[in-house]
Structure 1
Amino acid sequence: MARVVLVTIGSLGDLHPFIAIGRALIAQGHRVLLAVPEDGVAKVRAAGLDAAPILPGYADICARLGMSPEEAAGRVLGDTNFVVDQILIPSLRSSTAALDELSADADVIAGSVFALASEIVAEKRSLPLASVVLQPMTLFSAWQPPVAPRFEIMRHRPRTAIGRGWNRTFYALARIALRRRHARQIDDVRAAHGLPPSQGAPMLDHGPVTAAFICCWSQALGKLPPDAPRHAILTGFPFFDSESGADDELAVEIQTFLDDGPPPLVFTLGSFAVASAGRFYDEAAALSRALGRRAVLLTGQPGPPRRDGDCLIMNYAPHSAVFPRASAIVHHGGIGTTGQALRAGRPQIVVPHFGDQFDNAARLKGGDVGATIHRDRFKVGQATNIVSHILTDPAIADAARRAATIIAREDGAAEAARHIAGLALTSPRAIR
């Protein structure tokens, strides 16, 4: 029996895969603790797992920054440095101290790329670390560089060594910039735990305690690039999407709506981009009516479900139950939503807002599973033809079904759990 500490921060797209992996580890007979932000603790415990906070919740972070949740979301969407500068680095000292205490009897730590405390604590305690990679772009490959803002100058289909060399030069410059920006703060925390200065750049480099890279997406979204780390393993998506954390029943209102007519369009911006939705849902409703289609709008806003003509408007519904009943899914491109839409075998339209969402959109488009629309162009007049094409193109429907077939053969949570638990055999406790 391994004693595993799982570490993640961020939105539900980050939390849900770790809950899925944690449940799989327990099913395989291991002990699990999830170290998460304060506002994820209740959900983790409702899912049957032990949890402890290592970061304050989103509301507390907003209060520290003197911003409303909407203002903070707007800054995250508009400034790629904001999360690292204003959230991750300022909380690193306290989160590392909390994680260190939680890891006193651990055999292995598995943390997300952005959980910077994971590597510090694993190195201090001589524990093997599994880097859980949720987004393909965060492998930062020279063969498959991110398709996202700030990466535009990279060669995105490098056919020669010159193109790949250009991409490696870009990463080298990024490493220098990250070191200059954050090395002092990170090294101060490392020194407080008796560790020497780091030689790498945060998020781009990984120290010797990183024993595996658990890549948690499906082959349907893309295979590992040739320059993936030697210990990289592609597992498939770890799926979990309960609203409360427990095994919820589908709300009567949405079950009735789905049964009442033809498959609707489903619109969602996930759990974070929804805080800066703008007119997305107004345009979604108008677009559905212009196409003569029913629609489900998952708005992330509290309140009971309500009908507005052929639109059902509600806070949230489990994607695993709703997406297979959709005619198409229009979403922000977060990795969790992307995986659920691929699993459902339905055409997709991605309206990316920030981060990896642009890269995920490009991968879906490249796989002929759907299309992408710029956030500013998601308006009835500009989006109608694209949505109509997605709904009627048989090639897209076939590609979506093939992707679902691939995912049906995978068990990402169980596969990730097996590899993480296997690392416990290399821990000092196991060796002793």
Structure 2
Amino acid sequence: MKVLILTHGTRGDVQPYAALALALQNAGHHAVLAAPAASASLAEPHNLPFAPVHDGPNTLLDAPHIRQAIETNYRGLAGKKVALQVMRASKPLMARVFTDMVTVAQAGADLVVHGPSIPGHRIAEALGVPAVAALLQPVWVPTASFANPMIPLPLPRALNRASYLPFRMMLRSFGAVADKMLDLPRRRGRHDFLRRPDGGPATVLHGFSRHLLPPGTDYPAWVHTTGFWFLPAASTWRPPEDLAAFLAAGAPPVYIGFGSMAGTDPHRIGRVVTDAIRLTGMRAVLVSGWGGIAVDDLPARTEEVFVLDQAPHDWLFPRMAVIVHHGGSGTTGAALASGRPQVICPFVADQPFWAARAHAAGVASAPLPQRHLTAQGLAAAIRQATGEETMARRAGQLADAIRGEDGTKSAITVLESLA
């Protein structure tokens, strides 16, 4: 079976799809990952067939005013104005992305798997093959059990299902771009990736764990919540000698990293983080990511703090005492699988949802929103996460359940049933 996987976004957005491609390859299928050119490093160590596409809206993320608006959830009038600017600028950029993906698809496929912002269902329709929407957040398929996690306001339960509609409607502008590239009839409902061309429900994969969702989630049978999709460290990867020496030199440290979140004031966050570590008296591994934590006043390694660009989560996290992170879906899943307690400092989007769910599951302290983060508050949360036996025990129990799902294997079983 030849599977074309279409996705876009930052590293954390793309990595789960790379994990699915690798699992398909290991199961004897041929998987091609079409993703931003900047994410090629995810595929190369695993010898995954990779089709680079334009980096699209990722190129906007370095603009300070756009970064600030994104990471404050477009609050206030100024934020709303920037949101409109981003939408206008993103449309022609996504047109370049879609053009590249249509070109990649000309090589053919038996099945198209795509992220929600990609009109992969229309590309699959042009190829005459099934499409599967692969979703990393529970923000697209309506449920009555909880409101759309991307809605930052409390809603009455009666509006839970309706709260999912605006985000699906947002994708119509991108769908209109795809219409111009594909020689397909403009049928009713063509922009709804939850529907097949014949109007029936499309197969959906949820690349996250049911164990973290609120109880009573009423997803239909065509939605498969498989568990998280983890990309393992490459077989050739070895930890740097100085990192291995640091870990061996003392008690397990605190991990602190905010992934691809660039941060609106990384120097403030850097001061908060380093002050919090001093208050706890613990050692720490700081991962700078895209610059969310600036620690220019620290050497790369001291006896207490080790500064790192990145390392595979499946290797690093189990060696930590507690994991402090931003609450992205992939990082949350990796932290859960490691069995370590967590402190989550959400920035934006679905991150507050995952932070709240990890806390409700008993594996994380109460969420600490990044914009309100203080050294004293972070130090207190770290002490709680490392000091509560019940949290450590629950983290271990939930890790067993998360790993037991084997999300990519479950996803492949669903995909094979469609071929």
Q: Which of 339, 349, 352 is the aligned partner of 2:343?
A: 349
Q: For 1:362 and 1:7, how far apart are their aligned partners in 2?
A: 30
Point out the more displaced range, 393-402 or 90-99. 90-99
Alignment of 1:76-87 (within 5 A): 76-79=70-73, 81=83, 85-86=87-88
Residues 145 and 215 in structure 2, CA contact (< 8 A), matched pair in contact too = no
Q: Which residue number corresponds to residue 339 of structure 1?
A: 333
Once the 2 structures are TM-superposed, how far is the Cα of residue 237 of structure 1 from its aligned partner? 1.4
2:134 aligned partner = 132
**Contact 2:40/2:52, CA 8 A, preserved across alignment:** yes
CA distance in 2, matches of 1:201, 1:154: 29
Identify which of 270, 285, 295 aligns with 2:259. Answer: 270
Q: Does residue 241 of structure 2 align to residue 252 of structure 1? A: yes
**Partner residue, 1:391:** 386
Deviation digits for residues 59-82 of structure 1 (CA, Å, limit 9, x no counterpart): 7x23xxxx7355543333235546
Q: Is 1:211 the counterpart of 2:216 in the alignment? A: no
In structure 2, relative to structure 1, the CA distance for the partners of 1:189 and 1:419 (3 Å cut) is: same
CA gap 1:197/1:345 in 2 versus in 1, 3 angstroms: same
Q: TM-score, normalised by structure 2?
A: 0.86
Mapped pair 1:108 → 2:111: yes
Counterpart-to-counterpart distance in 1, 2:302 and 2:374: 19
After TM superposition, give the deviation of residue 225 of structure 1 in Å: 5.4
Q: Which amino acid aligns with 1:168?
A: R
Aligned to 1:123: 125
The alignment status of 1:376 with 2:371, answered yes or no, reads: yes
The 1:79/1:347 distance shift into structure 2, 3 A limit, reads closer
Cα deviation, 1:33-78, whole Å, max 9, x if unaligned, reads 111111123432332111112323677x23xxxx735554333323
1:328 deviation in Å? Answer: 0.8
Residues 6 and 120 of structure 2 are in contact (CA less than 8 Å); yes or no, is this contact kept in structure 1?
yes
TM-score, with length taken from structure 1: 0.83
Answer whether contact 1:6 1:33 (CA < 8 A) is retained.
yes
CA distance in 2, matches of 1:328, 1:415: 29
Deviation of 1:7 after TM superposition, in Å, equals 0.9
Number of the residue aligned with 1:98: 100
Quote the residue 2:77 is aligned against: none
Distance 2:235 2:265 in 1: 28
Q: Larger deviation: 351-360 or 369-378?
A: 369-378
Call closer, same or farther: CA 1:382–1:200 in 2, change over 3 Å.
farther
Aligned residue number for residue 5 of structure 1: 4
Question: Is structure 2 residue 403 aligned with structure 1 residue 408?
Answer: yes
Q: Unaligned regions of 5+ residues in structure 1, if any? A: 156-162, 425-432
Does the 8 Å contact 1:264/1:295 carry over to 2?
yes
Aligned length: 401
Q: Does 1:167 align with 2:152?
A: no
Counterpart amino acid of residue 208 in structure 2: W
Amino acid in structure 2 at the alignment position of 1:139? V
Deviation at 1:14, TM superposition (A): 1.7
**The 10-residue stretch of structure 1 (392-401 or 210-219) with the greater mean CA deviation from structure 2:** 210-219
Displacement of 1:267 in angstroms is 0.1
The alignment-based identity, stated in percent, is 25
Residue from 214, 221, 237 that aligns with 2:212: 221
The one-letter code sitting in structure 1 at the alignment partner of 2:322 is: A
Query: 1:112-169 CA deviation, whole Å, 9 max, x = no partner?
Result: 1222x31221222232111111123443433122345x341324xxxxxxx2x32234
In structure 2, the CA distance between the partners of 1:138 and 1:277, relative to structure 1 (3 Å rule), is: farther
Task: Report the CA distance shift for 1:305/1:415 in structure 2 as closer, same or farther (over 3 A).
Answer: farther
Q: Displacement, 1:376? A: 2.4
How far does residue 187 in structure 1 lie from its aligned partner after superposition? 2.8
How far apart are 1:292 and its partner, in Å? 0.9
CA displacement 1:64-121 (0-9 Å, x = unmatched): xxx7355543333235546971565323433333222322321100011222x31221
Relative to 1, partners in 2 of residues 1:192 and 1:265: Cα closer, same or farther, differing over 3 Å?
closer
Q: 1:33 to 1:170 in 2, by over 3 A?
A: closer
Contact 1:19 1:47 in 2 (8 A): no
Structure with the bigger RCO (C-alpha within 8 Å, sep 6+) is 1
Structure 1 residue 11: deviation in Å?
Answer: 1.6
Q: Secondary structure at 2:98's aligned position in 1?
A: helix
Compare 274-283 and 382-391 and name the one that shifted more.
Answer: 274-283
Q: Which deviates more from structure 2 when the two are superposed, residues 181-190 or residues 265-274?
A: 181-190
Secondary structure in 2 matching 1:18? helix
Q: Distance in 1 between matches of 2:19 and 2:241?
A: 25
For residue 421 of structure 1, what is the amino acid of its counterpart? E
Q: Is the 8 A contact 1:298 1:313 kept in 2?
A: yes
1:225, 1:247 → 2: CA distance? Answer: 43
Letter in 2 for 1:239: F
RMSD between superposed Cα atoms in Å: 2.9
Specify the code of the residue in structure 1 equivalent to 2:402. I
Q: String of CA shifts for 1:200-235, please: whole Å, max 9, x gaps.
A: 596x76231563111112233237854324311122
Q: How far does the alpha carbon of each residue in 1:334-377 deviate from its partner, in whole angstroms, 9 at most, with x for none?
A: 11110111011111111001111111111101101112112122
Q: 2:285 matched to 1:293?
A: no
Which of 397, 414, 417 is the matching residue for 1:419? 414
Q: Distance in 1 between matches of 2:248 and 2:303?
A: 16
